[in-house]
Amino acid sequence: MSKKIPAFKSEDEEREFWATHDSTEYINWNKAERITFSNLKPSVKKISLRLPESMLEELKLLANKRDVPYQSLLKIFLAERIEKELASH
């Protein structure tokens, strides 16, 4: 029989609990089903990035040609490059 999962007062308390306890004592993973959360947006983190002004202007020019915000275009470029780098390793 699995142990009962305690009630948590906050996400931090729950995170701390699972960092120090084995989930197999609380959940029967053999009965687990895989599901997809297709409507979830990935969490984002704001960063500060210093770019040469000329690079930023060129990025804005390219974004304008594609009719997208330059920040979105930068994310697209980064995602493509990250995928390429990961595939090559």
Number of domain units in the chain: 2
H-only helix segments in the chain? 11-20, 53-66, 70-88
What residues make up the domain containing 26? 1-35
* pLDDT tens-place string over residues 6-29: 999 999 999 999 999 999 999 989
Residues 55, 76, single domain; the answer is yes
Residues 56, 73, single domain; the answer is yes
Q: What percent of the chain has pLDDT over 90?
A: 78
State residue 1's pLDDT score: 56
State residue 87's pLDDT score: 94
CA-CA distances (angstroms) from residue 69 to 27, 66, 89?
44, 9, 31
State residue 22's pLDDT score: 94
Query: Taking 80 as the threshold, does the pLDDT of residue 30 lie above it?
Result: yes
C-alpha–C-alpha distance, residues 62 and 71, integer Å: 11
How does residue 2 score in pLDDT terms, banded at 50, 70 and 90?
confident
Which CATH number belongs to the domain containing residue 68 in this structure?
1.10.1220
C-alpha–C-alpha distance, residues 7 and 68, integer Å: 45
